[in-house]
């Protein structure tokens, strides 16, 4: 499995493939035809960023039926989803900050992120995986009120 990542090195943002303690720099479009430049950097010399620059996140809500039953929340007939804007993403080791204006409950949980690599609309279940670029770990932090 290829591990892709974005990074900052000396003030320049780039992307590439990660293997061991090195990142092989690529150029072009990460999602379509990226090509290795032949250059590598040590991971110790870069700051890892969020793995891609999404315009939005579409998240499912109340999709874990065992938890819904435990919390006595009805199972929805159709999937429920919410949108998170592009200002909701942080890279590894970045600090999640609670807004000064908010003093309510904050919830957090680990999630599996699915990175869609091609534009799509009304995709059939049979072809859905053709549009998946890869997967990433998500630390979902939400103001609960």
Question: What is the per-residue pLDDT across 23-47, written as a single tens digit (0 to 9) for each?
Answer: 999 999 999 989 999 999 999 999 9
Tell me the sheet residues that pair with 45.
Answer: none
| Same domain assignment for residues 60 and 44 | no
Cα separation, 43 vs 41, whole angstroms: 6
| Same domain assignment for residues 70 and 97 | yes
Tally the domains of the chain. 2
| Same domain assignment for residues 42 and 82 | no
Nearest CA to 5 among 96, 59, 40?
Answer: 40
Q: Which CATH number characterizes residue 137's domain?
A: 3.90.850.10
Cα separation, 7 vs 52, whole angstroms: 10
| Same domain assignment for residues 34 and 69 | no
| Same domain assignment for residues 27 and 75 | no
**According to the model, what pLDDT value does residue 69 have?**
80
Task: Answer yes or no: are the C-beta atoms of 141 and 108 closer than 8 Å.
Answer: yes
Structural domain for 43, as ranges: 3-48
Nearest CA to 134 among 110, 115, 109, 113?
Answer: 115
pLDDT tens digits, one per residue of 119-140: 999 999 999 999 999 999 999 8
DSSP 58-113: EEEES--HHHHHHTT-PPPSS-EEEEEEGGG---TTPPP---TT--S-EEEEEEEE
| Same domain assignment for residues 63 and 112 | yes
Q: What is the mean pLDDT of residues 95-119?
A: 91
| Same domain assignment for residues 84 and 139 | yes
């Amino acid at each position: 499995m290829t591990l892709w990542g974005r990074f900052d090195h000396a003030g320049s943002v780039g992307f590439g493939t990660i293997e061991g303690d090195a990142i092989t720099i690529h150029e072009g479009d990460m999602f379509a035809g990226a090509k290795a430049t032949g250059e590598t950097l040590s991971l110790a010399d870069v700051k890892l960023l969020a793995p891609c620059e999404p315009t939005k996140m579409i998240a499912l809500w109340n999709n874990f039926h065992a938890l819904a039953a435990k919390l006595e929340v009805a199972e929805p007939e159709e999937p429920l989803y919410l949108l998170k804007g592009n200002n909701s993403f942080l890279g590894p080791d970045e600090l999640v900050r609670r807004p000064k204006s908010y003093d309510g409950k904050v919830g957090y949980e680990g999630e599996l992120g699915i990175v869609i690599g091609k534009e799509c609309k009304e995709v059939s279940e049979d072809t859905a995986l053709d549009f998946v670029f890869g997967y990433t770990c998500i630390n979902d932090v939400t103001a609960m009120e």
